[in-house]
Structure 1
């Protein structure tokens, strides 16, 4: 796992963001944080080891997107005290016909991780030409690397279908999500934590301008 410390000024608060598969830190670059808040973006899950030192922060707000929801729940130590934990367009059972991405669709995505397959995936993730044009300006990772990442996630999720130990504060689900079916998200979060539907595609972060809009309790 890579950790990009986009703000690392020795602040007392931390926004810890676990990105979705194939994402880069630039996808979150427009989100502003207060002067008292550091921001770390975790991505590239070819290796699921989390090596960040969190002890010095007195407040940690976790934000996890897409497959990053499962990653967060399974790699963040249960001993880590979280001020808030927000899941966005993901669940703790991400390969599941009822509570996640349908198994056949997940496998189909894995079988088609190449340049053309990623173009199709990004179109579905962004939902509109305008947002896709913005997303395509972010640095693209090599398709071979992305396939290794998704295969590692698939193998680990299939081997351990435990939803993890995080006590989620809230979850957001996009009404136009063409990657992670909104209804399946709704099924999963019902009774676990407040679930709010937002008017956005799978990549929803243009809905917000500041991290605190996501993390506020």
Structure 2
């Protein structure tokens, strides 16, 4: 895994785990406000040195396969809030994740342009950022490590679920017992927010 520290002023830290193939610039439009931002991405290698997180006031936001990845990497950490978006700690899973056969097909018939289309749907024209140049290698490594799971390592406060998600089926998010918030968005949801504060807000029941 790779880490990019976007802002580090010594305050509250949003720790963002991105999904497969996405780079930190994909959230450059989101306002940080009072938060610092650390972004974890690129799962060509599943190792992450977490010593830099010690003593920080952490707010976890994990998206897509990043929900699975952070569950493996962050055992024992406590968060002020933990938000999962369009993903589950199960990762590749026939009931609570991306079906194994579908994931295998995405490797065998690798089509990154097709993947982008289902991630963004009608928002495809809004893309103004690049992607991991080693996307297929990243995909293969996720599959190779898919049997590793730590489904109870994080206490989630909210799961955000896109109604038009064609990567992680919305039904897979039934795994979560926390509060669920459904939004009218595709798998990539960040164009539908202006700030990380919006994402971290827990709606009143």
State the TM-score, normalizing by the size of structure 1: 0.88
CA distance in 1, matches of 2:18, 2:149: 20
Task: Tell me whether 1:134 sits opposite 2:126 in the alignment.
Answer: yes
**What is the match of residue 157 of structure 2?**
169
Report the RMSD for the aligned CA atoms in angstroms.
1.4
Note if contact 1:45-1:153 (Cα within 8 Å) is conserved in structure 2. yes
Identify which of 177, 180, 193 aligns with 2:178.
193
The residue correspondences of 1:28-43 to structure 2 (distance < 5 A) are 28-34=27-33, 36-43=34-41
Partner of 2:144: 155
Question: Are residues 1:121 and 2:110 paired?
Answer: no
- What is the TM-score normalised by the length of structure 2? 0.93
The answer to whether the Cα contact below 8 Å between 1:50 and 1:76 also exists between their aligned partners in 2 is no
Instruction: Measure, in 2, the Cα distance between the counterparts of 1:24 and 1:13.
Output: 22
Q: Secondary structure of the equivalent of 1:157? A: coil
Match of 1:93 in 2: 90
Return the alpha-carbon distance in structure 1 between the equivalents of residues 125 and 140 of structure 2: 27
Which runs of structure 1 show a deviation greater than 3 angstroms over 4 or more consecutive aligned residues? none
Instruction: Quote the residue 1:6 is aligned against.
Output: 6
How far is 1:81 from its partner?
A: 2.1
Asked whether the equivalents of residues 21 and 135 of structure 2 are also in contact (C-alpha less than 8 Å), the reply is yes
